[in-house]
A = this chain, B = another copy of it.
Amino acid sequence: MRQLCKGNVAIIKGAVLAGCRAFYGYPITPASEVAEAAAYYIPQVGGTFLQAESEVAAINMVYGAASAGARAMTASSGPGLSLMQEGLSYCAGSELPLVVVDVVRGGPGLGNIAPEQSDYFCTVKGGGHGNYRLLVVAPASVQEMASLTMLAFDLADRYRNPAIVLTDGFIGQMMEALDLDPVPAKLPEKPWAVMGTAETRKNLITSIYLEPDELEAHIRKLESKYRLAQEKEARHESLRAEDAEVLLVGYGIVSRVLRSAVEQGRKQGLKVGLFRPITLWPFPSRALAEAARKCRKVLVVELSVGQMVEDVRLTLAGQVPVDFYGRVGGNVPLTEEILEQVAPLFAAMV
Q: Which of A104, A196, A209 has the most CB of B within 10 A?
A: A209
Which residues in B have their C-beta under 8 angstroms from that of A199? none
- Min CB distance A292 to B, Å, is 13
Q: Which of B196, B215, B304 contacts A114 (CB 8 A)?
A: B215
Provide the bound-state CA to CA distance between A69 and B94, in Å.
37
Which residues in B have their C-beta under 8 angstroms from that of A27? none
Q: Which of B60, B83, B106 contacts A85 (CB 8 A)?
A: B83
Given contacts A127-B127, A317-B317, contact A196 B112 (CB under 8 A): no
Which residues in B have their C-beta under 8 angstroms from that of A64? 51
Complex contact A331–B92 (CB within 8 A): no
Contact bitstring A21-53, B, C-beta under 8 A = 1, else 0: 000000000000000000110000010101111
Which residues in B have their C-beta under 8 angstroms from that of A60? 53
> A175 at interface (Cβ–Cβ under 8 A)?
no
Complex contact B129–A81 (CB within 8 A): yes
- Min CB distance A344 to B, Å, is 21
A-B contacts besides A104-B129, A110-B207, 12 pairs, CB < 8 Å: A80-B86, A85-B128, A90-B109, A92-B108, A93-B109, A93-B111, A108-B131, A108-B132, A109-B208, A121-B121, A213-B329, A310-B310
A-B contact pairs, 27 of them (CB 8 A): A40-B196, A51-B64, A52-B57, A53-B54, A56-B56, A78-B128, A79-B86, A79-B129, A82-B89, A82-B128, A82-B129, A85-B122, A85-B128, A93-B108, A106-B209, A107-B129, A108-B222, A109-B207, A111-B129, A111-B209, A116-B130, A118-B129, A121-B126, A122-B125, A212-B329, A219-B328, A318-B319
